[in-house]
Structure 1
Amino acid sequence: MSRSASEDLRRLALGVVLPGFLGTDLPQWLVEALGEGLAGVCLFGQNVRDDAQVTALSAAVRAARPRALVASDEEGGTVTRLDAASGSPWPAPAALGAIDDPATTREVARRLGTAARERGVDLVLAPVADVASEPDNPVIGERSFGADPALVARHVAAAVEGLHAAGVVACVKHFPGHGATRTDSHLELPVVEVDEATWRARELPPFRAAVEAGVRCVMTAHVVLRALDDRPATLSARVLGLLRDELGFDGRDQVVVTDAVDMRAISEGVGRAAGAVLALAAGADLVCLGNPAYPDHYDDGAALHEVVEAVVAAVEAGELPLPRLAQAAARVAALADTASRLVPEALPADDLAHDPAALALSVEGDPRLGRDAQMLVVQPETSMAAGARASTLTLLEPSAVQVHDVREAEAHALAAGGDLAVAVEGRSTPGTRAVVAAVLRNRPDAVVVHLGPDDHRGPARRHAVVSHGGGLASARAVLHRLGLEASDDHTARSTR
């Protein structure tokens, strides 16, 4: 192969890769890769210090390559990168599903997308189109609009429309559906054992609605759907072919992007580099490498080199057809061109007529707390999608209320005197239910707070507030409903 042909092949390989990176400044290796044709970058929490810094970072990416994509997970609720330090100012999809007003969902998505665009992000990796059919799903939960396929479909379509109205590209995820799993693909490979008819009736409608709404990017799921293939969907030509052929997701700028190939479902299976090659061969167009800071730290520049060299070698060995790679690179380039030409709608001067996070609250009994109250915050296992973070309620530190992070052994000692609330952030687990039960045994008058989905399997309660999702917006709405206000300095007084 001539030097010119070799350089062209490397440029094509770079043009289908979307890496994460370490630090808040653009590293030199990334500047050079962008100059050689890298598709773009994916921003994670470690890349964000404040709004001005991330805006400058995005500008530096485009100075190195004007048509580079800048992507970020901005779902609302617990999953945010641009607002990772403080929590998302937008309610989770499950909270919007609880309201079930698509116009509100569209407007929230438009405002979320506008905030992302103002900081230089043009590819928002949202909304989640998974149907929350499995209550014990460790990774989807409140990221889904709900358990009803029709409800999820109408809100996915509204979110796509809202993001596009903000002038950013939406990316629905995770095709062909991650909502029915009990396994987190960040940690191992989930297998979905449902028949094809069930999958078509339950998981497919939201993705169909997204395509009909004009979505230009679909993210794959690292799940095995036995009814269609024994390979992970990310690596399955049959699954991705169904998306292209049956749903009609086959436009020149309609891109299939992989979920991160550093997730253990792929990295501990076929491996990052081999996974990238197999995904491209199966029909994916853009390979997301993932986050080199969490949960498994690795060398960011070396990972990009490994994947690009594997793609080049696969083409040279005849394992990845050159026309397939060229098609993928052309689709990604067309998507970047589309992103650069999107014109946002003007935002109205006034705010939303009603606070969506407050509208989403479900209330039982009388949850108001007095000024001498205690709040016991029981934080469950961290979702890999949300990343490692402190409790939003303890960060907000409601005024004049003692806030404690607790375990079951401490609940007895702390649940004495004055008004009391026991709060669970995120998905309930047997462990969190045990703490809530211990509190209610001593204090049946305690207010139970779920900053996330309701726990219908928990102990009986007299007073409760359920937000249906986490994040800053929902935490503030919960505190207000409890008769409390958040402090402005976000200083926690946690006991651990």
Structure 2
Amino acid sequence: MRARAMRGVLTAALAVCLLAACAPVAPSSSPSATRQPSSSAVSPSPTPPPDPAADAVARMSVTEQAASVVMGHISGTDSAALRAYMRSAPQGAAFGGFILMGGNIGADAAQVRAVTDALTLDAALPPLIAIDEEGGVVTRLPWDDLPGGRGLQALDPAQTEQVFAQRAALIAETGADVNFGIVADVPADASSFIASRALGTDPESASSRVTSAVSGEKGVVLSTLKHFPGHGAAPGDSHHSIPATSMTMQQWRAGAARPFVAGIEAGAELLMFGHLAYTAVDPAPASLSKRWHEIARDELGFDGVMITDDLGMLSGSGIAEYGDPVANAVTALQAGNDMVLMIAGSTAETAPQMVTGIVDAVGDGRLSAARLRDAAEHVMRLRMQVAERR
């Protein structure tokens, strides 16, 4: 029965098809019926999501943008003096960052918290308050007795992560939100200036511990990798000179680059550029090199805040070309840095002078308004991230 019924259906369908084939085809009632849709009929591209950081920066004056990309420093713990300093840029603009040094550190976390509270003029948009808390040789908090540098080189990655998690908690108690504490350099040998501070003695061990360090700090403080593109390959101390190496790009990728790549992939939020000259890539110090910033952003995929090492070190190198910290700040932004750091040799007037110099550079075209805006947006995103955590 099922077969006969199916044959009946097929016969009826064939008859309908034959009748349709014999019927004349009516002309289209609209010439456009067979036309391809015009470009105006194509669905519009989706509207990009709003960017709160870009919107906030767009509402800022050039002076406010310039102040927001400066991380300065004065010594002391007086709350009134610290608040006045943070608002001392031209037109009352507020600096976007401050670095805590020994002169800002009291006897315990509560005393340091009073300092960071004074530095925070607007709780809804706090500045980036940084500290060099590596442990070991470089320790700002006297009560931080956790290992750093060589002490960590003897630990496995899991232990390293635990140490950085504990250190991040100590920093967070003070109200600081950025740690300049992850030394991703690979020392050339045990006599290297950076050997006692590095997390590993070779690219592999350094990479694994850098990854662990970032993981340990994640969600508590913002992590910084330093000193890009690597201090270990360049002999000498960048506090007093500009160490140089003839290492090629191929050699760099195979060795010194690896811990930085690992840290970037782990999610580090800041990348600090050292005053180091890789002459085969660019004769200029990496902190002032556009090429090295392109490598970090475009080739390594780093999308966080790129910050200079202390520009006071550069101006104190004895090289006349780099003697002016204000000019160095402008050049650093031109190169691609999002934030400029000034400590050594600075006074209460240095950071405001840098802001004036940046504004003047935008005014006469040496620094494009778009580059300053891009830098300010990168900094703003991190400041908003800090505000969300508080």
**Shorter-chain TM band:** 0.7 to 0.9
CA–CA separation in structure 2 for the residues paired with 1:6 and 1:329: 12
* 2:135 alignment partner, one of 63, 68, 76: 76
Say if 1:7 and 1:129 are closer, same or farther in 2 by CA, change over 3 A.
closer
* 1:45 alignment partner, one of 90, 102, 107: 102
CA–CA separation in structure 1 for the residues paired with 2:336 and 2:76: 32
Deviation at 1:36, TM superposition (A): 2.1
CA–CA separation in structure 2 for the residues paired with 1:328 and 1:233: 17
Consecutive aligned runs of 4 or more in structure 1 exceeding 3 Å deviation: 63-66, 264-269
Deviation at 1:266, TM superposition (A): 6.4
CA–CA separation in structure 1 for the residues paired with 2:382 and 2:150: 29
What are the equivalent positions in structure 2 for 1:480-495 lying under 5 Å apart? none
Name the TM-score, length of structure 1 as normaliser. 0.62
Alignment of 1:321 with 2:376, yes or no, is: no
* 1:287 alignment partner, one of 340, 348, 354: 340
* Residue-by-residue CA offset, 1:148-205 (whole Å, 9 max, x unaligned): 101100100100110114x110011010000123211111111112222221111100
CA–CA separation in structure 2 for the residues paired with 1:265 and 1:142: 25
Residue number in structure 2 paired with 1:90? 146
* Residue-by-residue CA offset, 1:265-323 (whole Å, 9 max, x unaligned): 666442211111111011000101124xxxx4x42x21112211111111111000000
Structure of greater Rg: 2
CA–CA separation in structure 1 for the residues paired with 2:389 and 2:254: 33
What are the equivalent positions in structure 2 for 1:29-40 lying under 5 Å apart? 29-33=84-88, 36-40=93-97
CA–CA separation in structure 2 for the residues paired with 1:108 and 1:231: 36
Query: Does the Cα contact within 8 Å between 1:134 and 1:180 map onto a contact in 2?
Result: no
* 1:11 alignment partner, one of 30, 55, 64: 64
Residue number in structure 2 paired with 1:274? 327
Deviation at 1:226, TM superposition (A): 1.1
Alignment of 1:149 with 2:203, yes or no, is: yes
Deviation at 1:13, TM superposition (A): 0.5
Query: Does the Cα contact within 8 Å between 2:305 and 2:338 map onto a contact in 1?
Result: yes
Residue number in structure 2 paired with 1:176? 229
CA–CA separation in structure 2 for the residues paired with 1:318 and 1:6: 21
CA–CA separation in structure 1 for the residues paired with 2:88 and 2:204: 43
CA–CA separation in structure 1 for the residues paired with 2:272 and 2:241: 18
Local SS of the residue matching 1:125: strand
Residue number in structure 1 paired with 2:385? 338
Say if 1:266 and 1:141 are closer, same or farther in 2 by CA, change over 3 A.
same
Query: Does the Cα contact within 8 Å between 1:194 and 1:227 map onto a contact in 2?
Result: yes
Alignment of 1:135 with 2:190, yes or no, is: yes
Deviation at 1:20, TM superposition (A): 1.2
Deviation at 1:6, TM superposition (A): 12
CA–CA separation in structure 2 for the residues paired with 1:233 and 1:320: 18
CA–CA separation in structure 1 for the residues paired with 2:338 and 2:232: 24
Residue number in structure 2 paired with 1:355? none
Amino-acid identity (%) = 36
Give the letter aligned to residue 76 of structure 1.
G
Alignment of 1:263 with 2:320, yes or no, is: no
Name the TM-score, length of structure 2 as normaliser. 0.79
Say if 1:287 and 1:73 are closer, same or farther in 2 by CA, change over 3 A.
same
Residue number in structure 2 paired with 1:367? none
Query: Does the Cα contact within 8 Å between 1:222 and 1:265 map onto a contact in 2?
Result: no
Query: Does the Cα contact within 8 Å between 2:308 and 2:337 map onto a contact in 1?
Result: yes
Give the letter aligned to residue 90 of structure 1.
L
Local SS of the residue matching 1:263: helix
Give the letter aligned to residue 216 of structure 2.
G
Query: Does the Cα contact within 8 Å between 2:71 and 2:99 map onto a contact in 1?
Result: yes
Query: Does the Cα contact within 8 Å between 1:12 and 1:37 map onto a contact in 2?
Result: no
Give the letter aligned to residue 260 of structure 1.
D
Query: Does the Cα contact within 8 Å between 1:187 and 1:265 map onto a contact in 2?
Result: no
* Residue-by-residue CA offset, 1:26-55 (whole Å, 9 max, x unaligned): 425314248623102100011112222111
Say if 1:266 and 1:235 are closer, same or farther in 2 by CA, change over 3 A.
farther
Deviation at 1:64, TM superposition (A): 5.0
Give the letter aligned to residue 55 of structure 1.
R
CA–CA separation in structure 1 for the residues paired with 2:314 and 2:296: 24
What are the equivalent positions in structure 2 for 1:80-229 lying under 5 Å apart? 80-83=139-142, 88-99=144-155, 101-138=156-193, 140-165=194-219, 167-229=220-282
Alignment of 1:21 with 2:74, yes or no, is: yes
Give the letter aligned to residue 370 of structure 2.
P
CA–CA separation in structure 2 for the residues paired with 1:273 and 1:6: 25
Deviation at 1:110, TM superposition (A): 0.4
CA–CA separation in structure 2 for the residues paired with 1:12 and 1:265: 24
Local SS of the residue matching 1:141: coil
Residue number in structure 2 paired with 1:357? none
Residue number in structure 2 paired with 1:479? none
Say if 1:119 and 1:336 are closer, same or farther in 2 by CA, change over 3 A.
same
CA–CA separation in structure 2 for the residues paired with 1:136 and 1:315: 44
Say if 1:277 and 1:31 are closer, same or farther in 2 by CA, change over 3 A.
closer
Q: Which structure has greater helix proportion?
A: 2
Query: Does the Cα contact within 8 Å between 2:165 and 2:216 map onto a contact in 1?
Result: yes
Local SS of the residue matching 2:189: coil
Query: Does the Cα contact within 8 Å between 2:153 and 2:201 map onto a contact in 1?
Result: no
Deviation at 1:135, TM superposition (A): 2.9
What are the equivalent positions in structure 2 for 1:396-411 lying under 5 Å apart? none
